[in-house]
Chain A
Amino acid sequence: MSSRQEMTRETTPPASGRPIIEMVGIRKVYDTGKVQVEALKGVDLRIEKGEFVAIVGPSGSGKSTLMNLVGCLDTPSGGDYFIGGEKVAGLSRDQLADVRNRRVGFVFQAFNLLPQISAFENVEMPLVFGGVPPKVRRAKVAELLERVGLGDRMDHKPTELSGGQMQRVAIARALAMDPDIVLADEPTGNLDTTSGTDIMGVFLDLWKQGSTLVVITHDMALARRASRIVEIRDGRIVSDRPAEQAA
């Protein structure tokens, strides 16, 4: 496998041809005190720029765990991980925060918008963390909210928006720092079918515009519209194939 050969190149500077995500033998063990749960048991995964990867698998198989590792929200118990050619192991907490800020955009099932502040301020947040000056911030946020079709809802609080609208705000927020990759963990899980299809359409549009996407989903119809389907069972990747070959 080519990913094995990648290990020998780990000290070379990031080449433009390197994948955005490069995981080799990734393991994750949760130590809950009494029991140790091995959520990932050696995962190899490469994601190239411009891919739309759907991750599928039964509940508890380790999809979210994998997503958190990809997004540098959590650190692996073993294996090597490079994001944009940058070795993640050994980065400090603040460096990881910086990687999340610049390279990753998250979309969650539960939206996770901050309830007290407006849609505008929610989308602005990553730009604040990224040190973007206020003027640039304002223009960028306005553009993003227009792009997800919420140009007229900027001052609304999340509680004043529908589920689908909240997820659009979350997507705008994920795109704020022009990340290398957008990660979505069951983004339609909390939505009705119509809004779900609607949100999926937004993701497809993003993909067409050149974004790299990883989406966890239960919806096979949706997964089939991705460029690639990765199936996880019991902490291992059991199949990884282009979408048109999916069963």
Chain B
Amino acid sequence: MKVVFHLFLQSATLGRKRAFLTIAAIAWGTVAILLLLSFGEGLKQQLGKNSRAMGENIGVMWMSETTKAWKGMNPGRPIRVRIDDIPLLASRLPELESLIGEAIQWRTNLTAGKKTVAGRVKGVNYPYGEARKQYPVAGGRFLSPLDEAERRRVIFLGNELAEDLFGRDDPVGQTLLVANAPFTVIGVMQKKTQMGAYAGMDKDHSIVPISTWKALFGRPTVNNLVIRVRDGSKMKDAIARTREVIAAKYGFDPSDERALPTWDTVESQKINQNVSTGIQVFLGIIGALTLLIGGVGVANIMYAVVKERTREIGVKMALGAKAGWITGPFVLEGLSYTLVGGAAGMLIATLLVLGMSFIPTDGNKVMEFLGTPKLSLPIGVATASILGVIGLLAGYFPARRAASIDPAATLRYE
């Protein structure tokens, strides 16, 4: 090893320019792989966050028609869960965190002062706030059990609807006419980037207690139910169990899934997650290929060096250099260019990612969707190992060529 090092230091093989180009190629490849991976990580985290913005561990169950005959009744019978039945159904489903009714009135006139907007008014049971992440901006609140019990005329607004109606004013405490009935605004939803929605985006809906809603619009049934479980892995069972309880109450085949079509968001988040991971792996592979090209560049230059120095290698062999002393300096050289380039690339990439983290995601539509690139230890470790392997290979193959040189043939004087 000492001999290898002595020889390595003695033979500054690459000219400065070639060494620089080689290092730059590796640095570029490292920057590419790190940026792609951290971009993928940021995207993954952002997609995860956005897809959870609608709510976690929830399922959405719509009202539809039976598709199977049941106890002498023909298929095609509509099933409509009544608002008033929800407490009873919930009591039969203790395994659920909550069973929530959601009734929707589309294009209802909402009037604040002189301003009138046609908005969507939902009546929901109060646990909707937690389940569907209707977090209020400070100073306001979501619906309470009392609001529901006392059929209060209170309303919670999506942030964009609130802005449409009240502009920059604080809506909380103000009066809003809903279909000409006066309501008090009790809260405004915090802004969120929502990915995945049914019945429109949360930012432009408005919410009143489901009891109030029933009295106001005179319709006794829900549009859909929101099911929430404590443990996401129990979602499938919970959906089946809920269908069973409703089937028993309303009289249809509990195996008739299409009577109550359901969106299992736990399942779709899992798929989202897999897609993000897939994207990240794909980006990583592209990055690794870029780096590999850099490595091939190193190997190529080293091959050229081996060729240029064939006679020198032959001389060293004649003087008694063992194979390892011939190959060692080449491997060391390939490795050192790769590592220097890799270190430079890591530094540049880290600075770039740090720089990008100062770009705010809020208010920037692209960034809200893509997220900010994130460097992590696993990404660093993965990149470093890829670099190490490429460095070793970039040195190893040229070195092997060098060791296979036949000294007698090389030193022949023609």
Query: Which positions in A face B, CB cutoff 8 Å?
Result: 64, 68, 71, 73-74, 93-94, 97-98, 100-102, 106, 108-110, 112-114, 116-117, 121, 125-126, 128-131, 173, 177, 185-186, 189
Contacts and interface: CB of A to CB of B under 8 A. Distances in A.
Contacts of A112: 311, 314-315, 318, 411
Interface string B309-329: 001101111111111110000
Nearest to B315: A112
B180 interface: no
B408 interface: yes
B13 to A, nearest CB: 9
Given A74-B408, A117-B10, 17 more contacts: A64-B413, A73-B317, A73-B318, A73-B411, A74-B407, A94-B322, A94-B324, A97-B317, A100-B317, A100-B319, A108-B413, A110-B413, A128-B6, A129-B316, A129-B320, A130-B320, A177-B320
Q: Which of A108, A109, A113 has the most CB of B within 10 A?
A: A108
Contact of A131 (B3, B11, B314, B323): B3
Nearest to A94: B322
28 contacts: A64-B413, A68-B411, A73-B407, A73-B411, A74-B407, A94-B323, A97-B320, A97-B321, A100-B318, A101-B319, A101-B320, A108-B411, A110-B411, A112-B318, A116-B10, A117-B11, A126-B319, A126-B320, A128-B3, A129-B3, A129-B316, A129-B319, A129-B321, A129-B322, A129-B325, A130-B320, A173-B319, A189-B413
Given A68-B408, A74-B408, A128-B3, A102 B320 contact: yes
Chain B: interface secondary structure?
Answer: helix
B377 interface: no
A110 B321 CA distance: 20
Contacts of A117: 10-11
Interface of B: 3, 6-7, 10-12, 311-312, 314-325, 406-408, 411-413
A121 B318 contact: no
A73 B312 CA distance: 14
Contacts of B407: 73-74
Given A126-B320, A129-B320, A114 B315 contact: yes
Given A68-B408, A108-B413, A125 B323 contact: no
Contacts of B3: 128-129, 131
Nearest 4 pairs of A and B residues by beta carbon: A101-B320, A74-B408, A129-B320, A68-B408
B312 to A, nearest CB: 6
Nearest to A189: B413
Nearest to B403: A93
Contacts of B315: 112-114
A64 to B, nearest CB: 7
Nearest to B312: A114
A72 to B, nearest CB: 9
Nearest to B317: A97
B320 A98 contact: yes
A64 B412 contact: yes
Contacts of A177: 320
A121 B407 CA distance: 20
A95 to B, nearest CB: 9
Q: Taking each of A73, A97, A177, which has the highest tally of chain B beta carbons within 10 Å of its own beta carbon?
A: A97
Nearest to A75: B408
A225 to B, nearest CB: 23
Nearest to B318: A106
A73 B323 contact: no
B12 to A, nearest CB: 7
Contacts of A93: 322-323
A121 B11 CA distance: 11
B323 A100 contact: no
